[in-house]
Amino acid sequence: MEPAIASLNPAAVTAGASGGDGRHRHPRWSGIGRRTPSPFRKGAVIAAESVKARAQELGADLVGIASARVLNAFPPDPLWPQTPERISPYVKSVITIAQHIPAGAFRCRTNTPVQYMDMLVLRKMDKVAYRLAEELEQAGYPSLVTAAQETDWSYKRASYGRLSTRHLGVEAGLGTLGLNLMLLTPEYGPRVMLGAVLTSAELEADRPLAEPLCAGEACGRCLLACPADAIGQWTLDKERCAPLASPYGFSYLMTHVERMVQAPREEQLALLKSKESFMSWQSILRGVGVYSGCTRCVDVCPVGRDYESQLKDVQDTIAERTPEKERRLAEMARRRETGDHGPHHARSARWIGGPVGR
């Protein structure tokens, strides 16, 4: 037997990987790295710092903690309260996890690569959140993970999740909202995905950032770049944004199915075999085009340490800017100088930050 072949004996590889000989699974082949023991002990008090350190050890890029009591008291929209108590009355703390989207995805000719990267980032985030929830529960604190990209049909025609993760991020001290009401972080700007672990452990909450990260009307790069012209003064027109941000989402699927049902019989087969059907199938399979379509406001946002070093050279120029957008932005800036932040600012002031917000 040749030595090279013997070294790759499947039985030997399987035994070593499964830990049958008492060894840990080799991190190269496991895909998750060496499984280190949980630092939490059953019946012991768990400190917030140990929870955050464990989340980062498991792979989270950013992590913060918000009080469920505060989240229940300050829902983003009181008419449609996305609060922990609506999920479970036993939740005491919400651990917010952020995973950054590698900047290389925002340097491509199309946004197809960022759609795939988003899927990978979401998978990683779910694994980190699940592992953290599992370890907290084993220590005696019942915990659960919320779906980061899932909507509740009972909220505003299914356009909102059970919790607003961007507002969780602000309350957990990870960042502040921008002009388009997207969460901005000091490290990665808006180029992050957010998830949450709800736990019965009462953990010390982080303080929200004292100063806003967004320059608002003085910058307005997101407004200038938006191809749907959906960004206003601290507001976002979702009806304009959604068809581009979610090009193969639920609304698209329903429209396509309706066309197939109503089409003459001789056209139905062609529609069934069309690119539109393929993209709907692929979006269901991988999420591509559902939760990540247009990313122009994310591409050009100068907030985040990653922008200057990895994105400015390709995103500094905004091809979508028009005289009309520039005029509108200049008018907003003039109003701001008089103390007028527009009619939408007050509603989100708590999460925008700064003296006006707090």
Q: Which pLDDT score, from 0 to 100, does residue 20 have?
A: 42
Instruction: State which of 89-98, 233-242, 247-256 shows the largest mean pLDDT.
Output: 89-98
Domain residue ranges of the chain, discontinuous segments joined by +: 34-199, 216-341
Instruction: Return the number of other C-beta atoms located less than 10 Å from residue 309's C-beta.
Output: 10
Contact 197, 141 (CB under 8 A): no
Q: What is the pLDDT of residues 153-187, one digit of tens each?
A: 676 655 678 899 999 999 999 999 999 999 999 99
pLDDT of 358 > 50? The answer is no
Contact 55, 190 (CB under 8 A): no
Q: Tell me the average pLDDT across 57-81.
A: 95
Q: What is the pLDDT of residues 276-324, one digit of tens each?
A: 998 888 887 776 667 678 999 999 999 999 999 999 999 999 999 999 9
Report CA torsion sign: 155, 177, 87, 245.
positive
Contact 234, 181 (CB under 8 A): yes
* Cα angle for residues 243, 247, 253 (degrees, 5° grid): 100
Mean pLDDT of the chain: 87
Percent of the chain with pLDDT over 90: 69
Report d(CA 139, CA 78) in Å as an integer: 34
pLDDT of 244 > 50? The answer is yes
For domain 34-199, the CATH architecture is 3-Layer(aba) Sandwich (3.40)
Residue 253 CB partners (closer than 8 Å, separation 6+): 280, 283
